[in-house]
């Protein structure tokens, strides 16, 4: 804990820095004065400031104690030396014997060889690295926690100075990229489907212009406590439904967000920062920067996504401090541009004016993404550097279908995009008219269209989309969005709510598919080199059956007196399915012995997601009541191509004749065994791929709710038998070994895919793909 005496010294240092900044001297002389004052206060013989250049190298900009001729001469490559290590990890480095550290890099022009004690901290602005601040001593000194705290506070002040332009001239900052004024098309990541057009509103809450150093530390501490209390009240009100003008998203999302607002570690760091002499606003900024730098370096996807919630809380706290603009009231036709936003921040925006959201970061599984999809708000994420490319009011076109953003379009591009918006609106109206119409092909085959879901927020779309049931309910979402293991009663209530919403429509619950990229924060796990092929799903569940049994009890109790349709994920061997099935029936027997009600009927199915189970399918179908093809995993394993890696995933077409033969094998075996089979995953929700699946004999697809309209329209124009006959020709020799590629039949087939053949056929037949 920092002592009162230390606080006083550190506050004096912050006051000295403010006085130096107020002088009229040249930029370099003021910078020299700053490092000299830091060295004196921390009783260091050297203090140096390195700033990051556009190529990620680090240049010495000022020093007290090293050779002054090295300033603007000494440059370290990205990642080089101790400075590079601090920059790479964005964490302080405190060394008693710096020259003995393996990362140490000696530059003779600085004459730093006699110095052993070393303390360096990153200079961060909004989580972005601007430079590194270092102090050194000749003796083998280990710097105290108070020294580290003081240097971190000073580095924050320097970050504001450097980024504001108060210290460095325009000439010295000439390498900083200026905002372009021309039109640009920027690629991104599809997070929420839709098209949006409007004027840019820049959501940059990190750019706070309040004083950094506290004039009255006691008053700042009181301001912080008041703002924290207001923050808690506002989050509680949002959770309870007050002030949430946009309706009720899943309570799971807001429950997790609410827990972050009461995180004691986060609040303690804020209080320590104000106690060290920073203003309340600067304290929030500093702690935000620390979290951001550390979470972004984490490989755990859950930790990276939870950063967004912490950032949103920091923004809300700054708003309660009066440091940033309140954007709950937006201008007309607003397209919000943000680095990231949390679920609460998104819910508080004026939805009537918000047309789309674009994020520099963002993830399809983040809390905000889940809320955005529930609100049907177009969202594109991972558009790098967008905030620096835009000015408020710039026209922005957001294409959530393709994952692209066009900024400052010319009139022709904007007109064409508005036409797409109109056409999309008309298509949605047409899909609404088809909602209650059965999906029957022209030759009389009924295709069952079910929807995928995972949260309460998805349930209204069951009625709105016209889905015939829920073909895949992903139960793991409840676990992933909670900061604790959901109690059996919580799980049971969710499952009952799902069944009540579905009414007489069937619901298939998939047991928790955890592991891989879906890691629970409250369950210990080991890092794996290849998590997609590692300890996940049923492998984890069967090795540690307690969690699965816990869930099975909730499912059995929730479906008492009803039908329980349950399936197990990532089955690789017959033994895995047998063990999982035995666990289920053991729990049913247990509840029967205790006199509790059980389901009136039970159907047990298996996901088909591994090539291994495809070639054991005939035996699996002897005990499985139904199967569902998990096409996403199955295709990535079939092609040995990570579906998240665009460099390999886009090399292979799922309409390749090899993968189609595998799918035909599955359909044929299920038909022979008289077992229902469905297909879920991305390919089932895309018109071209869905048409081929139907031609292969699949008659049930489980798709995102937004895909049901387009898929149904395609089905109503499709002749299943006619396309099936064509497909046999394109694949080679019909039902034979298929070694030909259709060339002998005069069919065009590029790289083993039937896609071009299908597109030509669709155009000829008027099939809407």
Tell me which residue of 97, 96, 94, 151 sits closest to 124, measured CA to CA.
151
465 within a domain of the structure (yes/no)? yes
**pLDDT above 60 for 737:** no
Q: Are residues 24 and 78 in the same domain?
A: yes
362 within a domain of the structure (yes/no)? no
pLDDT at position 160 is 72
Q: What is the mean pLDDT of the chain?
A: 82
Q: How far apart are CA 352 and CA 338, in angstroms?
A: 19
* E-state strands within 403-506: 404-407, 448-453, 470-474
Q: What is the CATH number of the domain that holds 491?
A: 3.20.20.60
When pLDDT is averaged across residues 205-218 and rounded to a whole number, the result is 65
**pLDDT above 60 for 169:** no
pLDDT in tens, 741-760: 443 344 444 458 999 999 99
3-state helix, strand, coil in the chain (%, to 5): 45, 15, 40
Q: How far apart are CA 391 and CA 395, in angstroms?
A: 9
533 burial (CB, 10 Å; 0-12 / 13-18 / 19+) is middle
Return the higher-pLDDT residue of 82 and 168: 82
Q: Are residues 118 and 244 in the same domain?
A: no
Q: How far apart are CA 585 and CA 177, in angstroms?
A: 64
739: pLDDT confidence band, cut at 50, 70 and 90?
A: very low
Q: Are residues 246 and 156 in the same domain?
A: no
Q: Are residues 258 and 121 in the same domain?
A: no
**pLDDT above 90 for 345:** no
Return the higher-pLDDT residue of 186 and 284: 186
245: pLDDT confidence band, cut at 50, 70 and 90?
A: very low
Among the listed ranges 350-354, 522-526, 721-725, which one has the minimum average pLDDT value? Answer: 522-526
pLDDT at position 244 is 44
468: pLDDT confidence band, cut at 50, 70 and 90?
A: very high
Q: Are residues 566 and 500 in the same domain?
A: yes
> 116 Cβ partners below 8 Å, 6+ apart?
96, 97, 98, 99, 136, 137, 138, 139, 140, 141
Q: Are residues 115 and 249 in the same domain?
A: no
Q: Are residues 157 and 218 in the same domain?
A: no
Alpha helices in 240-366 (DSSP H): 251-261, 264-275, 280-296, 301-320, 343-347
164: pLDDT confidence band, cut at 50, 70 and 90?
A: low
pLDDT at position 242 is 42
Torsion angle in degrees (nearest 10) through CA of 671, 677, 680, 682: 0
Return the higher-pLDDT residue of 276 and 615: 615
The 3-state DSSP class for residue 214 equals coil
494-515 in b/e burial notation, b at 16+ Cβ within 10 A? Answer: bbbebbebbeeeebbbbbbbbb
Q: Are residues 146 and 221 in the same domain?
A: no
679 within a domain of the structure (yes/no)? yes
471 within a domain of the structure (yes/no)? yes
Q: What is the arrangement of strands in the sheet containing 404-407, beginning at the earlier edge strand?
A: 184-187, 404-407, 395-399, 195-203, 334-338, 354-359, 379-381, 189-192
Q: How many CA atoms lie within 13 A of 359 on its CB side?
A: 24
Q: What is the CATH number of the domain that holds 280?
A: 1.10.274.10
pLDDT in tens, 701-715: 999 888 899 999 999
Q: How far apart are CA 744 and CA 158, in angstroms?
A: 72
pLDDT in tens, 422-461: 998 888 888 889 999 999 999 999 999 999 998 887 888 8
pLDDT at position 419 is 93
Among the listed ranges 133-142, 462-471, 474-483, 741-750, which one has the minimum average pLDDT value? Answer: 741-750
333 within a domain of the structure (yes/no)? no
pLDDT in tens, 480-502: 766 678 889 999 999 999 999 99
In angstroms, the Cα distances linking 502 to 94, 607, 628, 679 are 59, 22, 20, 20
Q: Are residues 160 and 275 in the same domain?
A: no
- This prediction's pTM: 0.61
Q: Are residues 313 and 454 in the same domain?
A: no
Please identify, among 135, 164, 193, the residue that sits at the C-terminal boundary of a domain: 164
Please identify, among 111, 132, 164, the residue that sits at the C-terminal boundary of a domain: 164
Q: Are residues 86 and 148 in the same domain?
A: yes
pLDDT at position 458 is 82
pLDDT at position 307 is 59
The range of the structural domain enclosing residue 739 comes to: 434-765
pLDDT at position 752 is 82
Q: Could you tell me if 48 and 60 are in contact, meaning their C-beta atoms sit under 8 angstroms apart?
A: yes
384 within a domain of the structure (yes/no)? no
Q: Are residues 135 and 245 in the same domain?
A: no
pLDDT at position 515 is 64
User: Structurally, how many domains does the chain consist of?
Assistant: 3
DSSP label at residue 333: T
332 burial (CB, 10 Å; 0-12 / 13-18 / 19+) is exposed
Structure token digits, residue 184: 């640009």
When pLDDT is averaged across residues 221-245 and rounded to a whole number, the result is 72
pLDDT in tens, 272-331: 888 888 888 888 888 877 766 665 555 544 455 555 666 777 777 887 787 555 566 788
Among the listed ranges 27-41, 173-187, 345-359, 371-385, which one has the minimum average pLDDT value? Answer: 173-187
pLDDT at position 124 is 81
pLDDT at position 741 is 42
Among the listed ranges 68-77, 278-287, 599-608, which one has the minimum average pLDDT value? Answer: 278-287
pLDDT at position 680 is 92
Positions annotated as catalytic residues are 367, 680
DSSP label at residue 749: -
Q: How far apart are CA 98 and CA 113, in angstroms?
A: 10
The 3-state DSSP class for residue 560 equals coil
398 within a domain of the structure (yes/no)? no
Structure token digits, residue 450: 């079910």
Structure token digits, residue 513: 């598919």
DSSP label at residue 403: T
pLDDT at position 204 is 64
Return the higher-pLDDT residue of 44 and 295: 44
Best-predicted range by mean pLDDT (43-47, 207-211, 347-351)? 43-47
* E-state strands within 432-485: 448-453, 470-474
Please identify, among 105, 140, 164, the residue that sits at the C-terminal boundary of a domain: 164
192 within a domain of the structure (yes/no)? no
CA 26 from chain centre, in angstroms, equals: 45
When pLDDT is averaged across residues 156-169 and rounded to a whole number, the result is 67
pLDDT at position 523 is 57
pLDDT in tens, 664-711: 999 999 999 999 999 998 899 999 999 999 999 999 999 988 889 999
Tell me what percent of the residues of the chain surpass a pLDDT of 90.
Answer: 40
Q: Could you tell me if 319 and 352 are in contact, meaning their C-beta atoms sit under 8 angstroms apart?
A: no
Best-predicted range by mean pLDDT (45-59, 170-184, 627-641)? 627-641
pLDDT at position 5 is 45
CA 383 from chain centre, in angstroms, equals: 13
Q: Could you tell me if 45 and 115 are in contact, meaning their C-beta atoms sit under 8 angstroms apart?
A: yes
């Amino acid at each position: 804990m920092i002592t009162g005496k230390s606080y006083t010294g550190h506050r004096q240092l912050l006051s000295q820095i403010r006085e130096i900044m107020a002088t009229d001297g040249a930029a370099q002389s003021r910078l020299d004065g700053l490092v000299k004052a830091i060295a004196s206060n921390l009783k260091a013989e050297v203090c140096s400031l390195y700033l990051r250049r556009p190529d990620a190298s680090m240049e010495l900009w000022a020093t007290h104690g090293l050779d002054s001729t090295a300033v603007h001469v000494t440059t370290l490559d990205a990642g080089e030396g101790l400075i590079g290590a601090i920059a790479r990890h964005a964490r302080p480095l405190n060394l008693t014997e710096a020259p003995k550290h393996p990362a140490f890099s000696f530059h003779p022009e600085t004459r730093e060889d006699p110095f052993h004690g070393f303390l360096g901290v990153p200079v961060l602005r909004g989580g972005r690295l601007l430079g590194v601040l270092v102090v050194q001593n000749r003796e083998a000194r280990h710097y105290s926690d108070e020294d580290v705290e003081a240097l971190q506070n000073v580095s924050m002040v320097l970050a504001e100075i450097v980024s504001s332009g108060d210290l460095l001239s325009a000439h010295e900052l000439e390498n900083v990229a200026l905002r372009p004024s021309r039109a640009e098309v920027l690629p991104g990541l599809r997070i929420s489907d839709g098209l949006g057009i409007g004027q840019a509103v820049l959501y940059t809450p990190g750019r706070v212009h309040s004083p950094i150093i506290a004039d009255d530390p006691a008053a700042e501490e009181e301001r912080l406590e008041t703002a924290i209390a207001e923050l808690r009240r506002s989050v509680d009100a949002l959770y309870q439904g007050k002030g949430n003008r946009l309706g009720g998203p899943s309570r799971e999302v807001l429950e997790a967000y609410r827990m972050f607002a009461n995180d004691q570690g986060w609040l303690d760091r804020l209080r320590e920062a104000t106690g060290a002499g920073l203003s309340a606003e600067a304290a929030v900024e500093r702690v935000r920067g620390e979290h951001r730098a550390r979470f972004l370096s984490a490989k755990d996807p859950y930790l990276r996504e939870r950063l967004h919630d912490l950032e949103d809380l920091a923004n809300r706290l700054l708003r309660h401090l009066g440091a940033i603009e309140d954007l709950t009231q937006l201008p007309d036709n607003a397209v919000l541009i943000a680095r990231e936003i949390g679920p609460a921040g998104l819910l508080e925006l004026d939805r009537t004016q918000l047309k789309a959201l674009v994020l520099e970061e963002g993830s399809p599984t983040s809390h905000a993404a889940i809320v955005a999809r529930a609100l049907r708000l177009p969202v594109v994420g991972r558009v790098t550097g967008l905030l620096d490319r835009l000015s408020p009011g710039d026209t922005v076109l957001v294409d959530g279908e393709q994952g692209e953003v066009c900024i400052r379009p010319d009139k022709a591009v904007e007109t064409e995009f508005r036409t797409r918006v109109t056409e999309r609106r008309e298509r949605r109206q047409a899909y609404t008219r088809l909602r209650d119409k059965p999906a029957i092909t022209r030759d009389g085959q009924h295709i069952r269209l079910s929807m995928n879901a995972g949260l309460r927020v998805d349930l209204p779309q069951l009625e709105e989309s016209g889905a015939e049931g829920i073909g895949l309910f992903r139960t793991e979402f409840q676990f992933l969005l909670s900061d604790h293991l959901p109690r059996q009663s919580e799980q049971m209530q969710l499952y009952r709510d799902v069944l009540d919403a579905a009414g007489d429509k069937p619901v298939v619950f998939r047991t928790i598919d955890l592991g891989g990229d879906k890691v629970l924060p409250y369950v210990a796990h080991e890092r794996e080199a290849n998590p997609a092929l590692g300890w996940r799903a049923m492998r984890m569940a069967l090795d540690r059956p307690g969690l699965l049994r816990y869930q099975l009890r909730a499912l059995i109790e929730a479906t008492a007196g009803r039908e329980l349709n349950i399936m197990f994920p990532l089955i690789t061997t017959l033994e895995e399915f047998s063990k999982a099935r035995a666990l289920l029936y053991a729990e049913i027997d247990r509840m029967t012995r205790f006199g509790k009600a059980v389901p009136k009927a039970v159907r047990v199915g298996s996901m088909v997601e591994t090539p291994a189970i495809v070639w054991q399918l005939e035996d699996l179908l002897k005990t499985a009541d139904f199967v569902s093809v998990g096409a996403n995993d199955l295709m990535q394993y079939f092609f040995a191509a990570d579906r998240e890696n665009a460099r390999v995933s886009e090399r292979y077409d799922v309409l390749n004749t090899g993968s189609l033969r595998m799918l035909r094998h599955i359909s044929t075996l299920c038909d022979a065994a008289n077992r229902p089979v469905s297909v879920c995953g991305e390919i089932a929700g895309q018109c071209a791929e869905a048409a081929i699946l139907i031609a292969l004999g699949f008659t049930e697809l489980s798709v995102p709710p937004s895909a049901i309209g387009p898929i149904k329209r395609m089905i109503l124009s499709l002749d299943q038998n006619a396309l099936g006959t064509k497909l046999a020709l394109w694949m080679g020799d019909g039902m034979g070994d298929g070694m030909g590629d259709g060339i002998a039949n005069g069919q065009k087939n590029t790289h083993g895919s039937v896609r071009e053949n299908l597109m030509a056929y669709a155009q000829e037949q008027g099939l809407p793909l």
